Amino acid sequence: MTKAEIITIGDEILIGQILDSNSAWIAEQLNAIGVDVYQITSISDEKHHIINAIDLAKQRADIIIITGGLGPTRDDLTKKTLVEYFNTKLVFNEDLLKHVEKLLSSRNIKMHQANIDQAYVPENCRCLENKNGTAAGMMFEHEDKTIISMPGVPFEMKQIMKDSVLPLLKEKFKTSYIVHKTVVTHNYPESKLAHIIKDWEMNLPESIKLAYLPSPGRVRLRLSSKGDDIAFINYMIDKEVEKLVKIIPGSISSYNGKPLEETVGNLLRKAGKTLSSAESCTGGTIAKKIVSVPGSSIYFKGSIVAYSNEIKQNLLSVDGDDLEKYGAVSEQVVRKMAESAIEIFNTDYAISTSGIAGPDGGTDEKPVGTTWIAVASKTETIAKLYHFSEYRGINIEKSSITGLDMLRKMLE
């Protein structure tokens, strides 16, 4: 099995200023061509850290992919360090200079010496064209290892990876297939789900590995297998998924890892139906999830964030007597919120939420995490009471996911 290691360079990653989204994307792309990612390492912008990381990676992997530190500023040390590491020198590349000039001109940016310096590359590297930036990618062959350095800017790195790196790796390395199938489940926390599917898990073929990926409101089950016959691998995994469906019927929203909002969107699109939302404790999170899906304007009309009782009454026609008698976190209120959203937006379906997200506001009768959620169509309204956690962020996420899953079941 061909192994790879990903090294991300940047103090901004180590201090938490930005998230390392590059590594996750690169790993996904490598897996798709049958390359196994053995390790991901993040290091600082320091020469000895870069050299040490490459030395260690060479002991573990056939392919080493480095991102970051190729910019035109003084703190970008990767290119200089690689020149020293590979005992080579920088040479001027006329084609790179022309590319930099053209790119900066198109952006109405004046050339500086730092930009000109981007046209100097290590003599023994293979340049990888960066159509979106001034720093070229670089590929080295060293001691039977393939070492690739790319900019850390995501849209630059992704273009180089797609256009140059992946085709080169597929050509050079003979790889086996790696298949991952991710089943998205709801209704059960991780421990309960593990208990329910214990016998199924224990009887999985040795070639199939199972991983639990829990997050608020859902647990993703990833089935993975490797081999030379992709059709057989997919057949074996699909056979096991069929068994799983019978064990937890109605609890699976996706068989390809897609988020619930995408599944719900596909169901609405297929049925030619529309959706709105009326949110209190989720504060627009449901609407945000829905509109994150491209093309959602076809089926999603809008949302009202009714955080105060005044807005619930004035915009959503919630009865003041119900608010007084039952409170904002009640079945009566969320039912009316969902039904009013359908009327206001003239949609086929609506989701509503009202709960105590915390950390304050809970009582003995309604502790933090108490949440009512309703889904409605023009002929039916279903409202359910949930008791989530004591943590605000988790409560908002669980409420949003649960509301979407209630709608999924109604649509199905």
Give CA–CA dist 391/409, Å, rounded.
27
Report long-range pairs for 332-338 (Cβ below 8 Å, ≥24 apart).
333/372, 334/372, 334/373, 334/374, 334/383, 335/374, 335/376, 335/381, 335/383, 337/278, 337/280, 337/306, 337/312, 337/374, 338/278, 338/374, 338/375, 338/376, 338/381, 338/383
Q: Give yes or no for residue 307 having a pLDDT over 80.
A: yes
Q: Which residue has the higher pLDDT, 115 or 224?
A: 224
| Cα-based distances in Å from 146 to 40, 121, 190, 291, 374 | 16, 17, 40, 41, 55
pTM (two decimals): 0.79
- The predicted model gives 67-88 an average pLDDT of 88
Pairing of strands 145-150, 137-142: antiparallel
pLDDT at 168: 95
Q: Decide if pLDDT at 24 tops 90.
A: yes
Domains in the chain and their CATH numbers? Answer: 3-172 (3.40.980.10), 177-254 (3.30.70.2860), 260-411 (3.90.950.20)
User: What percent of the chain shows pLDDT beyond 70?
Assistant: 100
Q: What is the pLDDT of residue 71?
A: 80
| pLDDT band with cut points at 50, 70 and 90 for residue 76 | confident
Tell me how far apart the alpha carbons of residues 319 and 307 are, in angstroms, rounded to a whole number: 15
Encoded tokens for 331: 């079945």
**Which residues, 6 or more positions from 185, have their beta carbon under 8 angstroms from its beta carbon?**
193, 218, 219, 220, 221, 248, 251, 252, 253
Q: What does the alpha-carbon distance between residue 147 and residue 26 come to, in Å, rounded to a whole number?
A: 14
**pLDDT 10s digits, 173-211:** 988 889 999 999 999 999 999 999 999 999 999 999 999
Q: Is the pLDDT of residue 66 over 80?
A: yes
pLDDT single digits (tens) 134-163? 999 999 999 999 999 999 999 999 999 999
pLDDT tens per residue, range 79-91: 999 999 999 999 9
SS3 304: strand
